[in-house]
Amino acid sequence: MARHGDFTLNFIAAVILVNLIAPFVLVVRGVDLWRRGSRWAAGLLFSIWGSILVYAAALFFVGAASFGTSCGHEAVRPPRNAVWFEEGFFPLTATCHLGGERAHNFVPAFVNPLIYACIAFTLLCAVMAAREHHRNAHTS
């Protein structure tokens, strides 16, 4: 009988394996589409991968922030020394309110606009790829 810990380790190994293989598959498929002339479809694959990469990097750097030195004396999340701690995943926020006007934002100012730009470019590529596919289907 499988134990809970075995399932958890297998799940984590599967997630790691997918995350190692998926970028390779997306890039190879994107290059193939690019060579065949489907520029928007290739751009869609590249923008999806880039968007995921930008968001994952932002989550990593916000998660690695030093809460102990910037938001009180205890490095716990949410910090006990803060009056109010605001955290959200979309838009990405991690703000420590220390009372009064004092607050520390752990998310750099450029991160959320960059995430929005990635999403906008992905949507543009998706629309243009669908348009290109529809146009090619009716001309052949």
- Encode pLDDT of 78-90 as tens digits: 555 556 677 788 8
12-21 mean pLDDT: 70
CB 111 within 8 A of CB 92: yes
Q: Is 103 exposed, middle or buried (0-12, 13-18, 19+ CB in 10 A)?
A: middle
The full length of the chain comes to: 140
**Binning pLDDT at 50, 70 and 90, where does residue 2 land?**
very low
Asked if the model's pLDDT at residue 3 lies above 60, the reply is: no
DSSP alpha helices (H): ranges in the chain?
4-35, 39-63, 67-70, 111-139
pLDDT on residue 78: 54
